[in-house]
Copies of this chain bind each other. A is one copy, B any other.
Amino acid sequence: MASEFDLIARHFTRTAPGDILGVGDDCALFPVPPGMQVAVSKDLLIAGRHFYPDADPVSVGHKSLAVNLSDLAAMGAQPLGCLLGLALPSMDEAWLAAYARGFHALAQASGCPLIGGDTTRSLHDLTLSVTVFGAVPAHAALRRDAACPGDDIWISGELGAADIAYRLLDGQLPADAARLARTRRALEWPQPRLALGQGLRGLAHAAIDISDGLAQDLGHILAASGVGAELRYADLPRAAGLEGLDEATLQRALLGGGDVYELCFTAPAQRRDAVMQAAHASQTPVTRIGRIVAADGLCVLDAQGQALPHIPGGFDHFGGVA
């Protein structure tokens, strides 16, 4: 068994950058730039709950790191490194090699080297546990509790595709190969918005990444900040591949769909030009979708300025209603 796990270790061990002590000691060691705080986040992913056991392992490797990097992006942090815990019921070296390839490709592209972790045999479940570390200047982190009445509400990228792809794969929507082909990349290859997050330091008031759905995750900002919000439904950026869906399905995908990993953030209305510059500099599309108000609660206005009677709740795709 030792040799099997040594084999795994080799798939995951890369030479750490010169100033980092990586795999092979009791701890990994890394420096933190002066004046910076450390931002940390951790997610567990279990085959059959958080991803399909037969999903492309390269995409699983990518996504298991991406969802953690997205948390760093939402704080405005730059990645420093990551740890990977693998609990495996059995050896499937081809799966592991492909998983490692997806993981390392994103780690390298994001400047987030894998510097340590743990591998063990499990009894039943295949569990992935990723921890990421980043650096953010003290007092410049993008928190959830800093939204102010009058702030614009912005979102990066587009909404809805991951939700539709999930429902097609899960059989909740009738099979539609063409639609699936246009939407599944959003589900399987989310792109953490690291450059945008760092560009919003000192500019955005509050930020969060959308994992459980826009309405629910924006709700976390509202609750933490003690404010409310008005969203303009017609302004929500729709992904390609959503054409021809019934209105209820579309609303649920845009407002309630999870697995999005775009940044929702608030910024003062007088900083619109600066936000657009940060978006341009980070090559990330952003859309203004509403505003923060003093009164509690979330209101979604239709094109006629009428409040939607029902706002779809958040949905954790693989875990049930969030």
Q: Kindly list chain B residues whose C-beta atoms are within 8 Å of the C-beta of A144.
A: 24-26
CB distance A27 to B124 under 8 Å? no
Our pick among B83, B208, B322 for the contact of A26 (Cβ within 8 Å) is B208
Q: Which residue of the partner chain B has the closest CB to A32?
A: B32
Q: Which residue of the partner chain B has the closest CB to A125?
A: B125
CB distance A72 to B224 under 8 Å? no
Where chain A touches its partner, the secondary structure class is: strand
Our pick among B72, B83, B141, B320 for the contact of A1 (Cβ within 8 Å) is B320
Contact pattern, A 106-122, Cβ under 8 Å of B = 1, otherwise 0: 00000000011110111
- Which of A27, A123, A127 has most B Cβ within 10 Å? A27
Q: Which residue of the partner chain B has the closest CB to A40?
A: B28
Our pick among B24, B26, B38 for the contact of A74 (Cβ within 8 Å) is B26
User: A48 to B122, alpha carbons, bound, how many Å?
Assistant: 9
Our pick among B2, B27, B46, B86 for the contact of A40 (Cβ within 8 Å) is B27
User: A49 to B71, alpha carbons, bound, how many Å?
Assistant: 31
Q: How far is the CB of A134 from chain B (nearest CB, A)?
A: 7
At the interface, yes or no: A171 with Cβ under 8 Å from chain B?
no
29 contacts between A and B (CB under 8 A): A1-B320, A1-B321, A2-B321, A25-B224, A26-B41, A26-B74, A27-B39, A27-B41, A27-B134, A29-B75, A29-B136, A29-B141, A34-B34, A40-B81, A40-B116, A41-B116, A42-B117, A42-B129, A44-B86, A44-B120, A44-B127, A49-B123, A85-B85, A87-B127, A120-B319, A122-B127, A123-B125, A125-B127, A127-B127
CB distance A1 to B319 under 8 Å? yes
Q: Kindly list chain B residues whose C-beta atoms are within 8 Å of the C-beta of A44.
A: 85-87, 118, 120, 127, 129
At the interface, yes or no: A244 with Cβ under 8 Å from chain B?
no
